């Protein structure tokens, strides 16, 4: 369970082969779970494309190579909600202070944005 702006939001939380998954309870159904499983199954195959997007997207980590990003991101938290689908990297080694969010469409058919907060 988590709290957001004073409103109680129940979340489905699971781990699929090491990848954490967060889906709000009201969106949790068989379709959402199959989607999460498909994303997890495709993650390794799409990792190089994801890393390339990170390196090229608005120079988020301009010194990093694609290989660096692939090694240092580690497994994300997959978040599926009304906003869309995104990975949140809380254990990355690209820097010590920031979370990295990467939004994507479909089963990583394309990547939309990279946001570094902190």
* Residues 90-115 pLDDT 10s: 999 998 889 999 999 999 999 999 99
Mean pLDDT of 29-50: 95
- Residue 90 makes CB contacts below 8 A (sequence gap 6+) with 76, 77, 99
- Residue 57 makes CB contacts below 8 A (sequence gap 6+) with 111, 113, 114
The residues that bridge with 99 in the sheet, in sequence order, are: 117
Render pLDDT for 57-84 as a digit per residue (tens, 0 to 9): 876 787 899 999 999 999 999 999 888 8
Range of the domain at 91: 2-117
- Say what the pLDDT of residue 57 is: 83
- Separation CA 55–CA 58 (nearest Å): 8
pLDDT bracket for residue 7 (50, 70, 90): very low
What's the total number of domains in the chain?
1
- Residue 95 makes CB contacts below 8 A (sequence gap 6+) with 61
Q: Which residue has the tokens 């009304």?
A: 82
């Amino acid at each position: 369970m988590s709290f957001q702006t004073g409103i109680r939001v129940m979340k489905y939380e699971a781990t699929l082969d090491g990848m954490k998954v967060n889906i709000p309870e009201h969106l949790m159904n068989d379709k959402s779970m199959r989607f999460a499983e498909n994303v997890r199954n495709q993650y390794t195959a799409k990792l190089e494309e994801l890393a390339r997007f990170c390196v090229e997207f608005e120079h988020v980590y301009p010194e990093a190579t694609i290989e660096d990003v692939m090694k240092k991101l580690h497994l994300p938290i997959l978040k599926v909600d009304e906003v869309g689908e995104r990975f949140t990297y809380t254990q990355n080694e690209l820097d010590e202070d920031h979370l990295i969010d990467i939004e994507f469409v479909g089963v990583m058919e394309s990547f939309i944005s990279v946001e570094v907060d902190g």
